């Protein structure tokens, strides 16, 4: 009979340990070969839910999801702090944040060669850098417009003048100065005879609205808005699509996208792919997967932004963002985004000095 | 000790690790912030450009009545919350120190410490859901004529949120102070004919003055730098200076302006702490 000695026991344990380590390493290598890991910054709520479902439909890339905290611009200081070694492979955003990233030269130019599904996206909407190269990949289109909860609003809002109705005391959730690119303020300017280049009429109307007592909450984050309307704290708002979609899932919401005198703004949401990251090929492949017709339709259904891929299906619930050419001319306003974006700092400071004290 | 052999003093060496931490994580970043506050910001960029010229514009734009209002509002609500916090905390701390048995005192201290470990975010949202405009108290508030979306109510809600954090912190600070006051002094005052309230006013409070100042300063500096509480409970209408700083840095990426506001807030807070401490020191000198 073999005698079990301490030497035998130690040899056996070492052998088992070695087998385990080798096996685990091989397993990790296999797992790593199967899926490349990338880090992506996304919006929370239904948007990241949609993106997770899109991720699950492929197995080449595994995504570490990081959520935006605050407005789209909140991620920019984090990228700057770590530049030229950013921690993210792509950052979801829109015209506002794309512009900042393009100016800092952080973005990888994209093309039909690197992201083939861009061939099915209207080229006019694609953000370009100073060299005229495509700088971001659009995935969907959303709206910024006025809407109200039909079941709790004491007023059937049909015009911006209705916002001053005394029955709406404390019932309006208005976006704060860092939300929605202050386009609701541009809407007030348009209503009062101005525009994004002449904002004084808008500021005058905004002061009047602030003094009216009808603003119950100033939304400083996306969830502020959806929570405020969902909880019944407020009933009327001028905000962007995913938040209004979130409220409309549970409550009847009247969306004033095709109401005369109520301008609707359209924005694109999409992907900004950052330079100096090790997994560029995988990131481009994943982004290409996201804007395919099937995934664009899925995204539209879950996140509530209309697809930009011309081959994708627009859900019935988003028909309010589908415009004929005549409707586009009548209801949709396309501001000079260069002016809007360059004025964000000045408008924010003007809000703090002229509007905030009145609220 | 053997004669002729010098005593080695290791004290300066013991200070080195702490000094290194303060230098690296406090003074140097503050110096960077101070420098940034004098740089010019070009809209559309992220922070100041590498070759941005120096300017005083970031400070001159703060010399407006509206900006002063933000400071005053922050100071006013913070002061209200801090003083109210002391009003609650001192009797609570006195009761803990004098009335509870050691076992129950330890339990109560454990409770307050646990309270402080609870997430500020969770507590703030709990207040918002309970006392907010859509909470269960809404009918009662409307019944007594309080409009839950009114400015005055929102300010009270923000102060209440600050109080939620201040009371446990101030109580624990004052507990140690009160325990160091000899209870026989109070007994002696009463034996000499002083009523209880007078004994407290002339004996307990003066002896606890330094502890009260410490608790006040903890509470006040916490309040003026509070960010989450005014952001959630303030409904975007009651803004603290910290919220403005956040907007500058995170939303519009105007680092120079954010840095200027931060430096001003820092200077104001330091001044208040210095003046208050000096006043108390003068009064406590014979």
Give the 3-state secondary structure of residue A264: strand
pLDDT in tens, A319-343: 888 888 888 888 999 888 888 888 9
pLDDT in tens, A177-212: 878 889 999 999 999 999 999 999 999 999 999 999
Task: Spell out the residues 6+ positions from residue A178 whose beta carbon is closer than 8 angstroms to its own.
Answer: A70, A71, A73, A220, A344, A348, B247, B251, B252
Q: State how far residue B236 is from chain A, nearest Cα, in angstroms.
A: 4
Whether residues B149 and A216 touch (CB distance < 8 A) is answered with yes
Task: Spell out the residues 6+ positions from residue B133 whose beta carbon is closer than 8 angstroms to its own.
Answer: A170, A216, A217, A233, A234, B148, B149
- Alpha carbons B79 and B86: distance in angstroms, whole number: 11
Pick from B46, B244, B252: CB nearest A80? B46
Cβ atoms of residues B131 and B160 within 8 Å: yes
Give the 3-state secondary structure of residue B218: helix
**Which residues is A237 bridged to in the sheet?**
A147, A173
Note the pLDDT of residue A208.
96
Note the pLDDT of residue A1.
45
Task: Spell out the residues 6+ positions from residue B180 whose beta carbon is closer than 8 angstroms to its own.
Answer: none
**Residue B270 forms part of a structural domain:** yes
Pick from A77, A216, A341: CB nearest B250? A77
Across the A/B interface, how many CB contacts are shorter than 8 Å? Answer: 109
Count other Cβ atoms within 10 Å, centred on residue A72: 25
Note the pLDDT of residue A32.
46
**Residue A54: band (very low, low, confident or very high) from pLDDT cuts 50, 70, 90:** very high
Give the 3-state secondary structure of residue B180: coil
Question: Quick one: which of A58, A59, A65 has its CA closest to A39?
Answer: A65
Q: Which has the minimum average pLDDT: A47-56, A80-89, A309-318, B27-36? A: A309-318
Question: Quick one: which of B255, B261, B68 has its CA closest to A356?
Answer: B68
Question: Helix axis angle, A46-56 relative to A241-248, nearest 10°?
Answer: 90
Give the range of the structural domain holding residue B209, as residue numbers without chain letter.
Answer: 57-284
φ, ψ of residue B6 in degrees (nearest 5): -70, 145
**Which residues is A307 bridged to in the sheet?**
A140
Pick from A80, A177, A344: CB nearest B43? A344
- Alpha carbons A338 and A329: distance in angstroms, whole number: 21
- Alpha carbons A153 and A167: distance in angstroms, whole number: 9
**Residue B198 forms part of a structural domain:** yes
Place of tokens 């000045």: A346
Note the pLDDT of residue A74.
77
- Alpha carbons B105 and A5: distance in angstroms, whole number: 58
Q: State how far residue A111 is from chain B, nearest Cα, in angstroms.
A: 25
Q: Which has the minimum average pLDDT: A26-30, A102-106, A259-263, B64-68? A: A26-30
CATH number at residue B213: 1.10.3720.10
Q: State how far residue A113 is from chain B, nearest Cα, in angstroms.
A: 30
Task: Spell out the residues 6+ positions from residue B147 whose beta carbon is closer than 8 angstroms to its own.
Answer: A169, A170, B141, B153
Q: Which of residues 162-221 of A touch B (CB under 8 A)?
A: 169-170, 176-178, 215-220
Best interface-test mutation with B: which of A336, A356, A357 has the largest number of B CBs within 10 A? A356
Supply the ipTM of this predicted assembly.
0.78
- For B69, the token pair is 């209002």
| pLDDT value at A298 more than 80 | yes
What are the structural domains of chain A?
Answer: 33-141+268-321 (3.40.190.10), 143-266+326-358 (3.40.190.10)
pLDDT in tens, B111-161: 999 988 888 888 898 998 888 877 888 888 888 888 888 889 999 999 999
Note the pLDDT of residue A140.
93
Cite the beta strand spans of chain A per DSSP E: 36-42, 61-67, 90-94, 137-149, 172-175, 215-219, 236-240, 253-255, 265-273, 306-307
Q: Is the dihedral of CA A36, A39, A43, A49 positive or negative?
A: positive
Q: Give the residue-averaged pLDDT of A30-46.
A: 79
- Alpha carbons B144 and A301: distance in angstroms, whole number: 45
A125 Cβ under 8 Å from any chain B Cβ: no
Pick from A74, A99, A342: CB nearest B251? A74
**Residue B224 forms part of a structural domain:** yes
Whether residues B251 and A352 touch (CB distance < 8 A) is answered with no
The low-confidence residues of chain B, meaning pLDDT below 70, are: 1-10, 284-286
B134: nearest CA partner in chain A: A233
Which chain B residues have a beta carbon less than 8 Å from that of A69? Answer: 250
Q: State how far residue B54 is from chain A, nearest Cα, in angstroms.
A: 19
Note the pLDDT of residue B10.
66
- For B182, the token pair is 């000899």
**Per the structure, how many domains does chain B have?**
1
**Residue B14 forms part of a structural domain:** no
**Residue B4 forms part of a structural domain:** no
Note the pLDDT of residue A51.
97
**Residue B32 forms part of a structural domain:** no
| pLDDT value at A297 more than 90 | yes
Note the pLDDT of residue A103.
86
**Which residues is A274 bridged to in the sheet?**
A107
Question: Quick one: which of B209, B147, B222 has its CA closest to B181?
Answer: B209
Question: Quick one: which of B78, B120, B115, B111 has its CA closest to B219?
Answer: B78
Note the pLDDT of residue B5.
54
Place of tokens 């002229």: A354
Best interface-test mutation with B: which of A352, A354, A357 has the largest number of B CBs within 10 A? A352
Cβ atoms of residues A148 and A236 within 8 Å: yes
Count other Cβ atoms within 10 Å, centred on residue B147: 16
Q: Give the residue-averaged pLDDT of A225-230.
A: 90
Q: Which has the minimum average pLDDT: A36-40, A177-181, A353-357, B223-227? A: A177-181
pLDDT in tens, A4-22: 566 766 666 666 666 655 5
**Residue B76 forms part of a structural domain:** yes
Note the pLDDT of residue A20.
57
Mean pLDDT computed over every residue of chain A: 88
The whole-model pTM stands at 0.78
**Residue A31: band (very low, low, confident or very high) from pLDDT cuts 50, 70, 90:** very low
Place of tokens 């916490």: B222
- Alpha carbons B178 and A233: distance in angstroms, whole number: 44
- Alpha carbons A61 and A44: distance in angstroms, whole number: 20
**Residue B10 forms part of a structural domain:** no
């Amino acid at each position: 009979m073999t005698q079990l000695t301490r030497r035998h026991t130690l040899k056996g344990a070492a052998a088992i340990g070695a087998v385990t380590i080798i096996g685990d390493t091989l397993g990790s290598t296999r797992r790593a070969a199967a899926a490349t890991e990338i880090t992506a910054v996304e919006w929370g709520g239904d948007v990241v839910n949609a993106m997770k479902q899109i991720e699950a439909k492929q197995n080449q890339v595994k995504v570490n999801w990081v959520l935006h905290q605050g407005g789209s611009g909140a991620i920019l200081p984090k990228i700057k702090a770590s530049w030229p070694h950013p921690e993210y492979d792509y950052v979801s955003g829109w015209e506002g944040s794309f512009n900042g990233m393009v100016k800092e030269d952080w973005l990888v130019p994209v093309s039909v060669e690197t992201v083939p599904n861009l061939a099915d996206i209207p080229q006019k909407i694609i953000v370009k850098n100073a060299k005229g190269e495509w700088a971001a990949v659009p995935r969907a289109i959303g709206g910024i417009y006025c809407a109200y909860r039909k079941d709790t609003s004491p007023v059937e809002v049909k015009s911006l003048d209705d916002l001053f109705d005394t029955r709406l005391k404390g019932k309006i959730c208005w976006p704060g100065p860092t939300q929605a690119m202050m386009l609701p303020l541009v809407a007030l300017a348009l209503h009062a005879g101005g525009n994004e280049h002449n904002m004084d009429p808008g500021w005058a109307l905004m002061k009047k609205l602030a003094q009216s007592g009808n603003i119950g909450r100033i939304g400083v984050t996306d969830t502020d808005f959806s929570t405020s309307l969902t909880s019944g704290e407020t009933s009327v708002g001028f905000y962007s699509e995913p938040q209004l979609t979130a409220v409309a899932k549970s409550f009847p919401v009247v969306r004033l996208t095709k109401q005369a005198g109520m301008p609707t703004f359209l924005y694109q949401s999409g992907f900004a792919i950052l330079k100096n990251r090790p997994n560029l090929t995988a990131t481009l492949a994943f982004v290409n997967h996201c804007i395919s017709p099937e995934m664009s339709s899925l995204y539209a259904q879950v996140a509530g932004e209309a697809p930009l891929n011309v081959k994708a299906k627009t859900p019935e619930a988003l028909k309010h963002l589908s415009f004929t050419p005549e409707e586009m001319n009548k209801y949709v306003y396309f501001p000079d985004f260069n002016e809007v974006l360059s004025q964000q700092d000045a408008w924010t400071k003007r809000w703090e000095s002229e509007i905030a004290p009145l609220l | 000790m053997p004669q002729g052999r010098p005593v080695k003093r290791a004290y300066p060496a013991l200070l080195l690790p702490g000094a290194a931490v303060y230098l690296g994580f406090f003074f140097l970043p503050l110096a960077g912030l101070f420098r940034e506050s004098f740089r010019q910001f070009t809209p559309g960029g992220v922070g100041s450009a590498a070759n941005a010229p120096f300017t005083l514009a970031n400070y001159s734009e703060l010399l407006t009545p509206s900006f002063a209002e933000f400071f005053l509002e922050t100071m006013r609500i913070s002061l209200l919350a801090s003083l109210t916090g002391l009003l609650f905390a001192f009797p609570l701390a006195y009761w803990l120190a004098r009335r509870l048995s050691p076992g129950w005192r330890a339990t109560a201290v454990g409770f307050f410490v646990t309270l402080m470990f609870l997430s500020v975010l969770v507590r703030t949202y709990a207040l918002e859901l309970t006392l907010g405009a859509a909470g269960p108290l809404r009918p009662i508030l409307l019944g007594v004529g309080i409009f839950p979306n009114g400015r005055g109510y929102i300010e009270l809600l923000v102060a209440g949120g600050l109080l939620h954090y201040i009371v446990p912190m101030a109580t624990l600070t004052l507990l140690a102070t009160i325990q160091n006051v000899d209870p026989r002094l109070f007994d002696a005052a009463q034996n000499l004919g002083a009523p209880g309230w007078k004994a407290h006013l002339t004996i307990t409070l003066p002896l606890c003055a330094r502890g009260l100042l410490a608790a006040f300063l903890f509470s006040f500096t916490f309040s003026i730098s509070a960010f989450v509480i005014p952001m959630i409970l303030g409904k975007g209408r009651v803004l603290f200076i910290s919220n403005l700083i956040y907007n500058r840095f995170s939303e519009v990426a105007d680092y120079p302006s954010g840095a200027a506001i931060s430096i001003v807030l820092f200077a104001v807070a330091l001044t208040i702490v210095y003046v208050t401490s000096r006043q108390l020191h003068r009064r406590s000198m014979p």
